[in-house]
Each structure stands twice: as C-alpha cells, then as structure tokens.
Structure 1
Amino acid sequence: MQTEKLSISLPVDMARMVRRRVEDGAYASNSEVIREALRLWQQREQERGHRLDAIRASLDAAANDPARHGSAEVSAHFDRLLTEAEKTAKS
C-alpha cells in the first residue's frame, strides 16, 4: 500500500480518544485509528450513495408510471393515514 504522510489537527477530546485506543491495545498506532475511521466514513458514504441511487430509481419509476391519481384520491388517502395516526396516538 502506497502511503502519503498528512498532518492533521484534532480537537483535544478526539486526540485523547485516539491515544486511549492505542494505549488500550486496540490499535498499534494513531494512524491505524484514523485509517479505520476513514474506512468507516468511506463505507457510510458509499452506502448513502447506494440509498440515493435507489431513491432516484424509485422516483424515476414513479414519474414514468402511467397510473396517475387525482387530487381528491390523494387527499382521501392522506386523510385516512391521519385518522389512523390519531387513533394510534390516543391508544
């Protein structure tokens, strides 16, 4: 693995947390802690991208769906949902 040295500044509480994980033996170095944090961040960003892609696909499919509902039908649907939610809240 090719590496590049970076200098970063962390808030005091984060720096303590990094050092504590190394001192506890969970990681061999401060760099390992930061690399693990960045891998998790990267994974989260990829998952977020996949979720957004799925939402976009759903929106595209809905936009291309020839079935359309009138405003009265949509309003009645949300009125039913509201009524059900109010009943649940009172229970």
Structure 2
Amino acid sequence: MKTLTISLSPHQVAQLQDAVKSGSYASNSEVVRDALRLWEQREELRKLEMARLKKAYDEGMASGEGRSVDADTLLAELKAEARSRG
C-alpha cells in the first residue's frame, strides 16, 4: 500500500476518530478506504445515469421535430393517453 498525506477539516478528523473509537472501523485507513469505495460506487452510478440521459436525449433528438403546446392541451393529451391505457 502507498502512504498519502491528506488534509481534513477538524470536523472530518473528529468524525473519523469517532468512527474508530466506536469500533465501527479498526483504523483511520479503513474509514478512508470505505469512503473511497463509496465514492467509486457513486461515480459509477453517475456515469450510468449520464449514459442513460444521453441515450434518452439522443432518442428524443432522433424522434423528429418538436412542437409548441400550451399547458391545457398537454394536460388533455396526457389524460387521454392515461384513459386509453386503462
């Protein structure tokens, strides 16, 4: 393992130390490794969500020209669609 030097706020240091003192973690390093695992998971979910949004955007752009519609017309169309689905 490689040793790194990081800077933490006093609040972060206190939380880290509390996690170790409470027995939730065996060491400061374990807390940081767990935090990094969670960050990696969040980043992976963010990438998947961005890919999903890009696909939806691309599908929308490929679906044809848009149209102007007022709120009342849109609401009526949505209600009609919901009724047709049962």
- Structure-2-length-normalised TM-score: 0.78
Q: Which residue of 1 aligns with 2:82?
A: none
2:67 corresponds to which of 59, 65, 70: 70
Output the CA distance in 1 between the equivalents of 2:54 and 2:35. 29
> Post-superposition, which runs of at least 4 consecutive aligned residues in structure 1 deviate over 3 A?
none
CA apart distance, 1:70:
2.5
Output the CA distance in 1 between the equivalents of 2:66 and 2:36. 46
**1:52-82 Cα shifts (integer Å, max 9, x gaps):** 000000011111113x3432xxx22xx1368
- Structure-1-length-normalised TM-score: 0.74
Q: Look up the equivalent residue of 1:4 and give its one-letter code.
A: K
2:28 corresponds to which of 18, 27, 30: 30
1:57 corresponds to which of 55, 58, 64: 55
Output the CA distance in 2 between the equivalents of 1:70 and 1:24. 60
Q: Look up the equivalent residue of 1:21 and give its one-letter code.
A: A
